[in-house]
């Protein structure tokens, strides 16, 4: 059966987060980012991702010691809408959806993806390996920039957060691995501003830091779209 997507009301937590990001973007003064922070970039303007980037702490990665993908319990249903996070993202990002009967539209069996990473159209069929759900800020990377300190509950929230999830080309997702913006960007240059902006928003939301090379690359990308506004959903 073909599923007609309905607009779901935002949860209280998502509304609160959207207001937080809006407040940060409209703030007249940049937030402190701890000792050794880089100064506010001269070209950063209020209301842009460049301005939001300046609120992040800059320091090197922590060791990967202790990391396991199983530390992040993903594909759960933290918003309790009856669908796991993976199928929520398929429903959000695909078009021409078909769902398995008897699942209330939660089990997506086919659809069409306008892939943001490649700029191409990819057919999704359940059981195939052409479409992945990417953690925009990779789990392993997150571990090395602060998530090693988190509770299991916070890791579960992070791993299932729609802000940090995108349906994308499986090939490109696997090419990316756990790379940050310093070492990997989507081949589709038209999507790079949106991509790094989403990474910045996720890092602000969860209190993760950026490395100096990562910040420099994000700034370089955003200089091509200096007025780009950070997403809030």
3-state secondary structure the chain: CECCCCCCCCCHHHHHHHHHHHHHHHCCCCCCCCCCCCCCCCCCCCCCHHHHHCCCCECCCCCCCCCCHHHCCCCCCCCCCCCCHHHHHHHHHEEEEEECCCCCCCCEEEEEEECCCCCCEEEEECCCCCEEEEECCCHHHHHHCCHHHCCHHHHHHHHCCHHHEEEEEHHHHHHHCCCCCCCCCCCCHHHHHHHHHHHHHHHHHHCCCECHHHHHHHHHHHCCCCCCCCCCC
**Residue 8 CB neighbours (<10 A):** 13
Q: What is the pLDDT of residues 175-201, one digit of tens each?
A: 999 999 999 999 999 999 999 999 999
Percentage of the chain lying above the pLDDT 90 cut? 68
Mean residue pLDDT of the chain comes to 84
Q: What is the pLDDT of residue 139?
A: 97
Statement: residue 12 has pLDDT above 80 = no
Q: What is the pLDDT of residue 31?
A: 35
Statement: residue 208 has pLDDT above 70 = yes
Q: What is the pLDDT of residues 57-78, one digit of tens each?
A: 999 999 999 999 999 988 888 7
Statement: residue 102 has pLDDT above 80 = yes
Query: Is the CB of residue 185 less than 8 Å from the CB of residue 192?
Result: yes
Statement: residue 136 has pLDDT above 50 = yes
Could you tell me the two tokens for 183?
């070492």
> What's the Cα-to-Cα distance from 15 to each of 108, 138, 146, rounded to whole Å?
27, 24, 24
Q: What is the pLDDT of residue 4?
A: 44
Mean pLDDT of 79-95: 91
Q: What is the pLDDT of residue 46?
A: 65
Name the nearest CA neighbour of 139 among 71, 66, 233: 71
Has this prediction a pTM greater than 0.85? no
Range with lowest mean pLDDT among 65-79, 115-129, 145-159: 65-79
Could you tell me the two tokens for 172?
């490109």
Statement: residue 43 has pLDDT above 50 = no
Q: What residue ranges do the domains of the chain occupy?
A: 35-60+73-222
Range with lowest mean pLDDT among 15-19, 78-82, 96-100: 15-19
The pLDDT-based confidence of 5 (bands split at 50, 70, 90) is very low
Mean pLDDT of 133-143: 97
Instruction: Give the separation between CA 86 and CA 45, rounded to whole angstroms.
Output: 35
Q: What is the pLDDT of residue 9?
A: 41
The pLDDT-based confidence of 231 (bands split at 50, 70, 90) is confident
Question: What value does the CA radius of gyration of the chain take, rounded to a whole number of Å?
Answer: 18
């Amino acid at each position: 059966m073909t599923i007609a997507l309905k607009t779901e009301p935002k949860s209280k937590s998502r509304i609160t987060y959207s207001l937080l990001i809006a407040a940060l973007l409209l703030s007249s003064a940049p937030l402190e980012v701890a000792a050794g922070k880089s100064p506010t970039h001269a070209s950063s303007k209020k209301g842009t991702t460049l301005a939001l980037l300046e609120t992040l702490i800059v320091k090197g990665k922590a060791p990967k010691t202790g990391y396991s993908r199983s530390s992040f319990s993903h594909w759960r249903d933290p918003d309790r809408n009856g669908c796991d996070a993976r199928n929520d993202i398929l429903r959000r990002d695909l078009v021409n959806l078909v769902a398995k009967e008897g699942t209330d539209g939660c089990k997506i069996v086919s659809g069409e993806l306008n892939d943001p990473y490649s700029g191409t159209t990819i057919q999704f069929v359940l059981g195939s390996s052409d479409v992945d759900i990417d953690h925009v800020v990779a789990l392993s990377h997150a571990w090395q920039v602060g998530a090693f300190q988190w509770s299991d509950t916070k890791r579960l929230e992070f791993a299932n957060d729609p802000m940090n999830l995108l349906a994308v080309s499986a090939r490109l997702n696997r090419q990316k691995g756990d790379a940050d913006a310093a070492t990997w960007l989507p081949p589709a240059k038209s999507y790079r501003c949106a991509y790094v902006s989403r990474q910045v928003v996720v890092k602000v939301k969860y209190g993760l830091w950026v490395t100096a090379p990562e910040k420099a690359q994000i700034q370089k990308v955003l200089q091509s779209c200096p007025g780009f506004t950070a997403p809030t959903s």
